[in-house]
Amino acid sequence: MKPGQFAYHAPKTVEEAVAMLATVAAHEGRVLAGGQSLVPAMALRLALPAHLVDINGVAGLERLATDAGELAIGACVRHARFERPVVEGPLGRLLAGVVRHIAHYPIRTRGTFCGSLANADPASEWCLVAATLGAKMVAKSVRGTRTIAAADFFQGMMATALEPDELLVEARLPILPPDTHSGFYEFNRRAGDFAIVMALAVYRIEHGVIVDPRVGVGGVEGHPRRIAAAEAALEGRAPAIEAFRAAADAAAKAVEPIDSKPELAGYKRDVTRTAVRRALEAAEKSL
Ligand SMILES: Cc1cc2nc3c(=O)[nH]c(=O)nc-3n(C[C@H](O)[C@H](O)[C@H](O)COP(=O)(O)OP(=O)(O)OC[C@H]3O[C@@H](n4cnc5c(N)ncnc54)[C@H](O)[C@@H]3O)c2cc1C
């Protein structure tokens, strides 16, 4: 199928882009970033925007830089940029390990980190990373700039705190301390498919026990999120299989799988248990 009719806008600056969005947002206006989710949806007429504001020519949005203890990722930074560590230490390694699970290489050369966050697919790897690490999203509109914490940004399946006239100009991830362990595990049927279930685990060790654990799960609920019960099962315990199993059990109990087939909920809990345990085992071996 072919997309419906739309007007195409190509701003050159962020100011022009947000001014255009202010004009068209109320008339089915949408941002076009990598187009790897929006264009297929338009081709299938699942999305019928009347206006596209293409941000690919906007100056400065390809910025990827460390800044005040954070990695700032501009709106036009493509997935493929992360295939080699973009920053020294655990964060660069974590992102390089996760990115190869996103789609296929041609898609990774166009699709953007921020586009994935704005699209908020429940099985998006970058949404899991952002939710687990506590990313900050910087949104701009003609009304000004605001920063939204990951815990408030993801609101449900394909739903975020962004207003229709807001441009996500950058996402900011905390630079992880050098002694941070991290592990990611994704279960899907074919390489390149969206995850059925995925888990990300991050922690540090002090005096032989786990501190600052973060455990996130994606693909199961409306959006990826941290699982507090799993983190509580790890805090202060030795990084060994007993603690990992306790955290995995806690995660399997805590998640509320959403699925078109309710009978799959038990299956998703089981895969969550395995995914969390494997992410923790990978984290243990990561340094
Ligand atoms: C075959 C295939 C397999 C895929 N597999 C995976 C996968 O395994 N994991 C995964 O995470 N993704 C996967 N994707 C999706 C891909 O990663 C997309 O690139 C990504 O979801 C969206 O990024 P984009 O830059 O292409 O955004 P677009 O498609 O341009 O936009 C997506 C949505 O976000 C909005 N948007 C984009 N950028 C902004 C912004 N800066 N501010 C405000 N709104 C914005 C758009 O208006 C639109 O509503 C797959 C895609 C395909 C085609």
pLDDT in tens, 15-72: 999 999 999 999 999 999 999 999 999 999 999 999 999 999 999 999 999 999 999 9
CA angle 118-125-157, nearest 5°? 50
The number of beta carbons lying within 10 Å of the beta carbon of residue 47 is 17
Please give the distance, rounded to the nearest whole angstrom, from the Cα atom of residue 214 to the centre of ligand 1: 25
Q: Using one digit for the tens of pLDDT, what is the confidence trace for 94-106?
A: 999 999 999 999 9
Answer yes or no: is pLDDT of 87 > 90.
Answer: yes
Q: In the structure, what pLDDT confidence band is assigned to residue 223 with cuts at 50, 70 and 90?
A: very high
Assess whether pLDDT exceeds 90 at residue 2. no
Best substitution site from 24, 30, 37, 198 to test ligand 1's pocket, by max atoms within 8 Å of Cβ? 37
Closest-CA residue, ligand 1 atom 33, reads 119
The pLDDT > 90 percentage for the chain reads 96
Q: Which token pair is 72?
A: 């700032």
Question: How far apart, in whole angstroms, are the C-alpha atoms of residue 237 and residue 205?
Answer: 9
The pLDDT tens digits for 120-169 are 999 999 999 999 999 999 999 999 999 999 999 999 999 999 999 999 99
pLDDT number for residue 192: 87
Contact between residue 55 and residue 32 where contact means Cβ atoms under 8 Å apart: yes
Bigger pLDDT: 61 vs 265: 61
Structure confidence at residue 191 as a pLDDT band (50, 70, 90): confident
| pTM attached to this predicted model | 0.97
Say yes or no to pLDDT of 259 above 80.
Answer: no
114 CA to centre of ligand 1 in angstroms? 8
How much is the average pLDDT of 244-263? Answer: 92
Q: Which atom of ligand 1 is nearest to the CA of 139?
A: 42
DSSP assignment of 55-121 equals: -TT-TTTT-EEEETTEEEEETT-BGGGGGS-SSSSHHHHHHHHHHTTSS-HHHHHH-BHHHHHHHT-
Percent of the chain's residues with pLDDT above 70? 100
Spatial distance between the Cα atoms of 241 and 229, rounded to a whole number of angstroms: 17
Q: Give the relative orientation of helices 90-99 and 125-133 as an angle to the nearest 10 degrees.
A: 160
Q: Ligand 1 site: residues with CB under 6 angstroms?
A: 30-38, 40, 75, 102-103, 107, 111-112, 114-116, 118-119, 121, 124-126, 162, 167-168, 194
**How many C-beta atoms surround the C-beta of residue 28 within 10 A?**
15
Mean pLDDT of the chain: 97
